[in-house]
Amino acid sequence: MRISDMNWMQVETYLNGDDRAVLPLGSTEQHSYLRLTVDCILPERVAVEAAEPLGIPVFPVVAYGVTPYFREFPGSISLRVETHLNVVRDILDSMAHSGFRRILIVNGHGGNGAVQQFAQEWAADHATCRVMFHNWWNAPRTWAKVQAIDPVASHGSWMENFPWTRLPASSVSVPASQREMVDLARVRLLDPVALRTYLGDGNYGGRYQRSDEDMFALWQVAVDETRALLTDGWGEG
């Protein structure tokens, strides 16, 4: 359930019987022909669908992440790493103060990777708390499903093109072709201006869209994998 659909008294009642919660992390950045908020929509939605049957609250997604390399694509917003980690620290501190002791971070953006190490550090300083960091899109089962559907997939390609991340067909025309994978080693060396020139529309490689059947199949694996962490991922005997 979304914590935005609860009041504080309901949260207090929940905490009398459970201490789990989910914190989605996102980013607002270019995703080729898709919405700029793809990395916000997907982690929050997969978290909500995974947590709903368990009655676990999901906090609002942190909508801004670390994405300086996309700053030449209008609408892309980047936080400094230090700023991002401080925001996450304050959120985790507040969650722990409320009584949440088992926190699953569902991350939707590769540039937020520094949080994974930080979360381990934070948990080490909070002996009663446990934190898991979960990249929903490249978790083992989900990534295996991506590869089974179509191994040519990356940022801004079909693997992020769900009905809920698309713009209306009346407002955008998505290419029917498959884009060749970009050279990731080269991408890592380019400054933001050169990167925009090299990427063009922003797709890193792959078809722009696949069938809804494929996407729903991928989504179900992602939801199931995330839910399994909430039930069995805490290392309890």
For 194-221, write each residue's pLDDT tens digit. Answer: 999 999 999 999 999 999 999 999 999 9
pLDDT reported for residue 236: 61
Per-residue pLDDT at 3 exceeds 50: yes
d(CA 188, CA 198): 12
What is the mean pLDDT of the segment spanning 185-196? Answer: 96
DSSP three-state, residue 206:
strand
pLDDT at 59: 98
* pLDDT band, very low/low/confident/very high, at 146 (cuts 50, 70, 90): very high
What phi and psi values does residue 28 have, to the nearest 5 degrees? Answer: -110, 105
Q: Predicted confidence band at 96 (pLDDT cuts at 50, 70, 90)?
A: very high
* CA–CA distance, 44 with 3 (Å, rounded to integer): 12
Could you tell me how far CA 30 lies from the centroid of its own chain?
14
User: And the tokens for 38?
Assistant: 């793809």
Q: pLDDT digits over 216-235, tens only?
A: 999 999 999 999 999 999 98
Which CATH superfamily hosts domain 3-232? Creatininase (3.40.50.10310)
Q: 187: which residues sit within 8 A by CB, 6+ positions away?
A: 195, 198, 199, 204
Strands 130-135 and 178-179 turn out to be unpaired
**Closest by Cα among 116, 135, 132 to 235:** 132
The C-alpha atoms of residue 4 and residue 184 are separated, in whole angstroms, by 39
Which sign, positive or negative, has the C-alpha torsion 57, 59, 60, 66? negative
Whether 161 and 188 have beta carbons less than 8 Å apart is answered as no
In this structure, how many other beta carbons lie within 10 angstroms of the beta carbon of residue 84?
Answer: 22
Q: Do residues 18 and 230 lie in contact, with contact meaning Cβ atoms separated by under 8 Å?
A: no
Helix (H, G, I), strand (E, B) or coil at 102: strand
- For residue 106, the cross-strand partners are 24, 134
As a whole number, the mean pLDDT across the chain is 97
pLDDT at 237 > cutoff 60: no
